[in-house]
Chain A
Amino acid sequence: MTYTNQRLAYGNTLVALGKENDRIVVLDADLAASTMGKLFEAAFPERHFEMGIAEANMTSTAAGLAQMGFIPFTNSFAVFAAGRSYDQIRQTIAIGCLNVKICGSSAGLSDFGDGSTHQAVEDIAIMRAIPNMTVVCPADAIETEKITRAIASVQGPCYIRICRNDMENITSEDDPFVLGKPSLLKDGSDYVIFATGVMCSVALKAAESIKNHSVRVVNVSTIKPLDRAAVIEFVRDMKGVVCAEEHSIIGGLGSAIAEALRRECKPIEFVGIEDKFGCSGHNYPELLAHYGLTEEHIIEAIESFERI
């Protein structure tokens, strides 16, 4: 079945994984109805653990399950998964390189109504800075399924960041997926956009509608480890680089790309959230626009290179 919501894709993939592998276990912190952990709970009640509204304990409990040879997935909103449980992830999971998968659900601004307390705009930066951690952010629901499967199959801690809201699919079931490999969504010869998550579809629209420039779009769904050689190859002969993410411009995809390109002498622009917290909005597109995460902002970033 093709989903158009990353949470549904994630939750159903957990169920599919649970059928294939009895070492998969899932933990929720009273948000199973939102994270879609409830699907796993219904299918495998013995292997789903309700941990109450206590993310720190949930995260270290997952460490203990991993030490028993299980593959635990912990679910919560990204602000809590990456923020409230930061120390538990660092101390009890990442230092030991334990096989725990942390799902940051309702990431970015996607929990539009709840405001800054519930909008993770710095989770990629936090997770990316932790040694041993893999950080993934799927572009759509189809890729969410593939990425969930991929992180279940690799040893070590992984952080997966997914969106709350319905979105269009821009990848297809048949596209090959390799964890760690940035993938070409559209080719072009003047500029390249590296995008992650929901910004992939925005970047595609920008690349298709921009006048007078040929723009390549690359989906970076594995933010860490970042395939530096592939990133360098994608920017060869390009006049400039735009990074687009629903995240602070500090420490996220843009920072990772800039680190990778540190010897390439290419101008880089960042389309992201400018060192601000989120706020409440009536709908998701309105909020993305408020924070400058639109097709027009990406086009403006590209055109700014022409004025250099």
Chain B
Amino acid sequence: MDRNELISMLETKAKKLRRGVIVSIGVGLAGHVGGSCSSADIVSALYFYKMHYDPKNPKMKDRDRFLLSKGHVAILQYTALAEAGFFPYEELAHTKEIGSMLQGHPDVQKTPGIEAGTGSLGQGLSIALGMSLGMKLDRIENRKVYVLIGDGELDEGQNWEAAMACAAHKADNLCAIVDRNRLQATGKIVERFPIEPIDKKFEAFGWNVIEIDGHNMGEIIDALDKSDSVKDKPTVIIANTIKGKGISFAENVVSFHNGILSEEQYQQALKELS
């Protein structure tokens, strides 16, 4: 597959992931539309280009690991896992049902392919560091831990404890990706609780920083590849995104952080993502 074909394939997958998110949420129940759609291209690139794993053997030792620190967009990861073959696509329709393997937030005990229990924000990077240290102890080379963090989530202080610790432990097998969609649950980050400059903060903490357009598939895969050659320090990819990307009425709309779709909106979203 040449580069253009690869990019086209990943873009198609990303669209499919967004569609899966909408199908999982359905009509009349709240779901995290906005943050799922902003992260979809990144997750597509990770699951269908970058990461090494075996859906038939989810615990395979020699695998890359993906942690969703922004655990509220679990439905996006579930869709990716289904698309990758970890479980049947039909399971998505049972998301959040009592007894379902697909909980509102990622659960390591219930869902194949889920690597960490997240949802209480700001903890994924720390868990990723533990995996990074474990991989080094086990001499697992050429494998990585990827952790996707929301920009609003960076309010949580534990991220910065972890950022220090990742640098102190030279976690060069760890790559964090910040989905910088610039909105948090109650409004624009810049108005509610300003956190910029994210890049300079990570730089000051000793990280390799790459900034990209998080909806430009070429830039995403290049950034992921570039992080492989960095030694002795962790990498953070700051991905500039649009919350709700791909669904016209949800783009940049705060209320679709955890929004409810009407029947009409549901149909329109599926149409736009077809």
Q: How distant is B98 from chain A, measured CB to nearest CB, in Å?
A: 17
Residues of A within 8 A of B126 (CB): 56-61, 63-64, 88, 92
Instruction: Indicate the size class of the contact surface on chain B.
Output: 20 to 34
What are 11 A-B pairs with beta-carbon distances under 8 A? A46-B137, A51-B165, A52-B161, A56-B123, A56-B157, A57-B129, A65-B131, A67-B116, A67-B134, A91-B119, A92-B116
Cross-chain contact B129 with A63 (CB below 8 angstroms) = no
Does A25 count as interface, using CB distance less than 8 angstroms?
A: yes
Given the known A-B contacts A70-B137, A88-B123, are A62 and B168 also in contact in the complex, defined by CB atoms under 8 Å? Answer: no
Q: A46 CA to B134 CA in the complex, in Å?
A: 11
Q: Report B130-164 CB contacts with A as 1/0, cut-off 8 Å.
A: 11111101100000010000000000011001101
**Sorted from nearest, which 8 A-B pairs have the closest CB atoms?**
A64-B130, A68-B134, A60-B126, A57-B161, A54-B161, A96-B108, A61-B130, A91-B120
Q: Which of B27-68 contact A (CB under 8 A)?
A: none
Residues of A within 8 A of B127 (CB): 60-61, 63-64, 67, 92
Q: A227 CA to B169 CA in the complex, in Å?
A: 42
Cross-chain contact A70 with B134 (CB below 8 angstroms) = yes
Q: A108 CA to B107 CA in the complex, in Å?
A: 33
Does A49 count as interface, using CB distance less than 8 angstroms?
A: yes
Does A47 count as interface, using CB distance less than 8 angstroms?
A: yes
Does B115 count as interface, using CB distance less than 8 angstroms?
A: yes
Q: Report B105-120 CB contacts with A as 1/0, cut-off 8 Å.
A: 0011100000111111
Does B75 count as interface, using CB distance less than 8 angstroms?
A: no
Cross-chain contact B117 with A91 (CB below 8 angstroms) = yes
Instruction: Indicate the size class of the contact surface on chain A.
Output: 20 to 34
Q: Which of A47-97 contact B (CB under 8 A)?
A: 47, 49, 51-52, 54, 56-70, 72, 87-88, 90-92, 95-97
Cross-chain contact A52 with B134 (CB below 8 angstroms) = no
Q: How distant is A92 from chain B, measured CB to nearest CB, in Å?
A: 5
Does B101 count as interface, using CB distance less than 8 angstroms?
A: no
Binding site for B on A (CB under 8 A): 25, 46-47, 49, 51-52, 54, 56-70, 72, 87-88, 90-92, 95-98
Q: A64 CA to B132 CA in the complex, in Å?
A: 8
Query: With contacts defined as CB atoms under 8 Å apart, how many contacts are there between chain A and chain B in the complex?
Result: 109
Residues of A within 8 A of B117 (CB): 63, 91-92, 95-96
Q: How distant is B209 from chain A, measured CB to nearest CB, in Å?
A: 20
Chain B minimum-CB-distance residue to A98: B108
Residues of B within 8 A of A46 (CB): 137
Residues of B within 8 A of A51 (CB): 165
Chain A minimum-CB-distance residue to B136: A46
Q: How distant is B156 from chain A, measured CB to nearest CB, in Å?
A: 9
Q: Which of B77-127 contact A (CB under 8 A)?
A: 107-109, 115-120, 123, 126-127
Q: A81 CA to B107 CA in the complex, in Å?
A: 23
Does B217 count as interface, using CB distance less than 8 angstroms?
A: no
Cross-chain contact A64 with B120 (CB below 8 angstroms) = no
Q: A68 CA to B134 CA in the complex, in Å?
A: 6
Chain B minimum-CB-distance residue to A53: B161
Cross-chain contact B158 with A56 (CB below 8 angstroms) = yes
Q: A87 CA to B118 CA in the complex, in Å?
A: 11
Besides A63-B126, A67-B130, A92-B116, 9 more A-B contacts (Cβ < 8 Å) are A52-B165, A54-B164, A61-B127, A61-B129, A61-B130, A64-B129, A67-B127, A70-B134, A92-B117
Does B76 count as interface, using CB distance less than 8 angstroms?
A: no
Q: A65 CA to B145 CA in the complex, in Å?
A: 12
Cross-chain contact A57 with B137 (CB below 8 angstroms) = no
Cross-chain contact B130 with A91 (CB below 8 angstroms) = no
Residues of B within 8 A of A66 (CB): 130
Does B74 count as interface, using CB distance less than 8 angstroms?
A: no
Q: A54 CA to B168 CA in the complex, in Å?
A: 13
Q: How distant is A52 from chain B, measured CB to nearest CB, in Å?
A: 6
Cross-chain contact A65 with B116 (CB below 8 angstroms) = no
Instruction: Give the residue of B115, B130, B137 whose beta carbon is less than 8 angstroms from that of A60.
Output: B130
